[in-house]
Amino acid sequence: MIKIKSIESLSALSELKQAYFQQTTAPLDGMWHFGFVPMAKHFGFYLHENLVGFCCINEEAYMLQFYLQADCQINCQPLFTLIAEQNSAIIGNIKGAFVSTAEPHYLSLCLDNSSTFTVNALMYQQTSKITNQQNKCLELQLATKVQLAEFVQFAATNISAPQQWLNGYYGNLIARKELFGYWHNKQIIAAGECRLFDHYQTEYADIGVIVSQSVRGQGIAKRVLSTLVRQAEKQGLTAICSTESSNKAAQKAISAVGFLSNNRIVQFEFKQN
């Protein structure tokens, strides 16, 4: 019988996380899996005292990852149902899950236990080179530590992200040299990210862009994306990105740069007893 225990150190899950990423059919969204997942509570699945799987639940009570080793798959469906029906005393309350269509087994389990679901975001992967389209690029400047507050205020104003979270997130990107800005008349009007992966999906670069509301519709997002894709190409990496399902303007810009969206991030609501 599978036992569930709280995981205090994510290092205990290194091998299982590696296996988790290897079973996916496409690269997973970097923000979800390397931004949000580390902040979630992790729970280990144990069989005969051996760690054979895990799941993680965010503070809003949504599952973000679920994995069980191949040789324990006979336990997978009843274990997932136990958790989804809130019958685990260790995990407790759970509302639903976020899962991508690039995680077919996890996705199937969510479908079996859901009451409703909606598409949360579109996942994109670069399909064409843009190295020779230099006229579409912009000269972005690498962000510095002294500019952290400026970037935080810019993002908070233009996408309503919480400043406390932005301080940590942008601070980390600046330290890793993965945050860039574009200024006009000494005002930042676009921020771009080119996030690299340390342990998994190391052949990809996860890119993102925020454009000031005052200059949207002028093609700046497309030019920033082109610049970031070109930077990824120089490092021998394939660019990936994502955007909300409701953001039609971003989808148009991303597609224009040569990205194709074959996968989605789906939000599930579990059946409630």
Q: What is the pLDDT of residues 201-245, one digit of tens each?
A: 999 999 999 999 999 999 999 999 999 999 999 999 999 999 999
Residue 120: predicted pLDDT: 97
Summarised one tens digit per residue, pLDDT across range 89-100 is: 999 999 999 999
CA quadruple 83, 88, 90, 94: dihedral, nearest 10: 50
* Per-residue pLDDT reduced to its tens digit, 237-271: 999 999 999 999 999 999 999 999 999 999 999 98
How far does CA 57 lie from the centroid of its chain?
A: 15
Q: Which of 257, 246, 255, 241 is nearest to 124 (CA)?
A: 241
Chain segment 184-193, per-residue pLDDT in tens: 999 999 999 9
Give the pTM: 0.91
Q: Sign of dihedral through CA atoms 194, 204, 160, 250?
A: positive
pLDDT reported for residue 130: 61
| CA-based torsion, 243, 246, 249, 255: positive or negative | positive
Is there a shared CATH topology between the 3-121 domain and the 128-257 domain?
yes
pLDDT given at position 128: 74
pLDDT at 17 over 60: yes
CA distances in angstroms from 211 to 31, 151, 225, listed in the order given: 18, 12, 11
Rounded Cα–Cα distance for residues 146 and 192 (Å): 17
Q: What is the pLDDT of residue 134?
A: 46
On whether the 3-121 domain is CATH 3.40.630.80, my answer is: yes
pLDDT, position 199: 87
Q: What is the CATH number of domain 128-257?
A: 3.40.630.30
| Least confident residue range of 6-10, 70-74, 127-131, 132-136 | 132-136
| pLDDT tens digits along 26-82 | 999 999 999 899 999 999 999 999 999 999 999 999 999 999 999 998 999 999 999
For the cut 80, the answer to whether the pLDDT of residue 133 exceeds it is no
Which residue type is seen at 29? D
Residues 148, 167 contacting (CB under 8 angstroms): yes
Q: Kindly tell me if the per-residue pLDDT of 136 is higher than 80.
A: no
Where along the chain do its domains lie?
A: 3-121, 128-257
What's the pLDDT band for 197 if we cut at 50, 70, 90? very high
- For residues 32 and 64, the answer to whether their CB atoms sit within 8 Å is yes
Residue 273's pLDDT band, with cuts at 50, 70 and 90, is: low
Q: Give the pLDDT confidence score for residue 135 in this predicted structure.
A: 47
